[in-house]
Structure 1
Amino acid sequence: MAATQNRLMIGAAAPKVTVQDCQGSPVALADRWSQRPLLIQFARHLGCTFCRDRAKQLKLDYPEIQQHGGDVVFITMGTHERAQQLQDGMQLPFDVLVDPHRAAYQAYRVPRGSMSQVAGPQVWLPGLNAVIRSGFGKPTGDLLQLQGTFVVDAAGILRLAHVPRNSADHPQLADIVAALES
């Protein structure tokens, strides 16, 4: 698969990109990871059931991520207003950031998926479970955009680069903790 061949490799320097906070102010990700390791979670789109479920899970995992020295940012391609609504509505303890032109998605090589990866049979049961746990939102943006999860250490080196097989595929907390500790 082309996405696997073009993905960023663990041990490589993380791309230094700037995104925006919910008010439209610039946020350099390198400023965030220079303070402590950073888990960067790219969302598919704000209406994505799996992404809402992922945000909810990261909220639950956030104390443990912090215990291991890490912080979290959740990046979406949505609007500032919808990102703020997500952060406030889910009471997320970490920042929801906006990349409206998907420049950060491209820098981190987060691929677009096929219809099968986004809505194929392999995601039907996990999708139903995610809807039950976290509900669903209004789909907007590029519905074929996949999500991605990255951990960058304080020196700017990638310690985890998870590009999913499908829209239901996320790394486990144990993998995130291992990356934070490496």
Structure 2
Amino acid sequence: MPSWVPTLLKLAAVYNLAWGTFVVLYPRLPFDWLGLDVPNYPSIVQCLGMVIGVYGIGYWIAARDAATHWPIVLVGLLGKVFGPIGFVYTAFHGNLPWSMGLTILTNDVAWWLPFCAILVHAARIDEARLARETGLSLEQALRAAILPDGQSVYERSFQSPLLLVCVRHLGCTFCREMLADLGRQRDDVIRAGLTPVVVSMGTVAQAAPMLLAYGLNDVAHLSDPERRLYRALELPFGSFAQLFGCKTVWRAVAEGVVLRFGFGRMVGNGLQLSGTFVVRNGIIEQAHRHTSTADRADFKNLACGVTSGSMRTGVVS
């Protein structure tokens, strides 16, 4: 874990303990500051202060080893997200004054990014541990990946090259864009002599509606919920910038990817990055590993690269 993580969690702990203690001791004072009517039952506010203080104890514990105690950080983040959502809903319907939202900026919103970053780091550490404990070599993973006809990817690659399209979780809007790109370019890929195979972390049943939606219902699908093939292909978890950076936000919003493809329930690990690989004779001939969730692979370019003997990587910026 980066050195700033325990420092930030201890800061969050001190902040919560201080704020919680203050509310318990002086439940009426925040209302006086905001010029609001004091509630008839200040003990309710004191109970809220107690809960805030207890979170502080949790953050102090998590600061000792955030990679192990990441659920505490996750619960804290959920509270800091759902709390503001509840406030906005209530204030919008006129049941709370908007001025009460001032405390949300320091109590909740200010912690969103650092808490997300901590969870990303914790997931990457856990991924490295799993890779050490259960990781397969590339050949082992290709032999273990069984296609719908019963052949392994390794065996099939000696008959004809395969285009392995490893997508992010099935609810991701960029995963859907990736499948739409493959649907448009599949004929070019097949004409180049490659057989496309979609790899996801979802089950066959979970992936089937998505493949059908983009004209890929007759394309072979590999389910890899434990991400053994993803790890063997050296597809990492994304960093905070790779997952939520400017490029991702720009493409999702400004370029309208979310409007065109929507998004759904997360099926698989949301930190996983995508990648596309050409496998021939049991080895990787071409690879495009995404450097952000918003990257796009040019499948036709990858396929033509194999046909011409080139080792280039097809990328759409």
Shorter-chain TM-score bucket reads 0.7 to 0.9
Q: TM-score, normalised by structure 2?
A: 0.48
2:302 aligned with 1:159, yes or no? no
Instruction: Give the equivalent residue in structure 2 for 1:146.
Output: 273
Tell me if structure 1 keeps the 8 A contact 2:170–2:176: yes
Deviation per CA, 1:92-139: give whole Å up to 9, x if none.
141222001111111111101112211211111222332233222212
Give the Cα separation in 2 of the matches to 1:28 and 1:20.
4
Q: CA deviation at 1:174?
A: 4.9
Residues 108-147 of structure 1: matches in 2 within 5 Å? 108-128=233-253, 129-147=256-274
Rate the CA distance shift 1:75–1:27 in 2: closer, same or farther, 3 A. Answer: farther
AA partner of residue 242 (structure 2): Q
Q: Secondary structure at the match of 1:131?
A: helix
AA partner of residue 229 (structure 2): A
Tell me if structure 2 keeps the 8 A contact 1:150–1:158: yes
Consecutive unaligned residues in structure 1, runs of 5 or more: 1-12
Instruction: Give the equivalent residue in structure 2 for 1:178.
Output: 304
Consecutive unaligned residues in structure 2, runs of 5 or more: 1-136, 310-317
Higher relative contact order (CA 8 A, sep 6+): 1
Q: CA deviation at 1:173?
A: 3.6
Give the Cα separation in 1 of the matches to 2:300 and 2:267.
31
Q: TM-score, normalised by structure 1?
A: 0.81
Match of 1:77 among 177, 201, 211: 201
Give the Cα separation in 2 of the matches to 1:17 and 1:52.
27
AA partner of residue 154 (structure 2): A
**Which protein is richer in strand relative to its size?**
1
Give the Cα separation in 2 of the matches to 1:157 and 1:141.
26
Tell me if structure 1 keeps the 8 A contact 2:290–2:296: yes
Bigger radius of gyration: 2
Tell me if structure 2 keeps the 8 A contact 1:46–1:140: yes
Residues 59-78 of structure 1: matches in 2 within 5 Å? 59-78=183-202
RMSD of Structure 2 on Structure 1 (CA) = 2.3
Q: CA deviation at 1:14?
A: 5.6
Give the Cα separation in 2 of the matches to 1:82 and 1:21.
16
**Which protein is richer in helix relative to its size?**
2
Higher mean C-alpha deviation, range 129-138 or range 140-149: 129-138
Rate the CA distance shift 1:151–1:21 in 2: closer, same or farther, 3 A. Answer: closer
Rate the CA distance shift 1:28–1:65 in 2: closer, same or farther, 3 A. Answer: same
Tell me if structure 2 keeps the 8 A contact 1:110–1:163: yes
AA partner of residue 97 (structure 1): L
Instruction: Give the equivalent residue in structure 2 for 1:106.
Output: 231
Rate the CA distance shift 1:157–1:82 in 2: closer, same or farther, 3 A. Answer: same
Q: How many residues align structurally?
A: 167
2:157 aligned with 1:30, yes or no? no
Give the Cα separation in 2 of the matches to 1:88 and 1:21.
18
Identity, % of aligned pairs?
Answer: 32
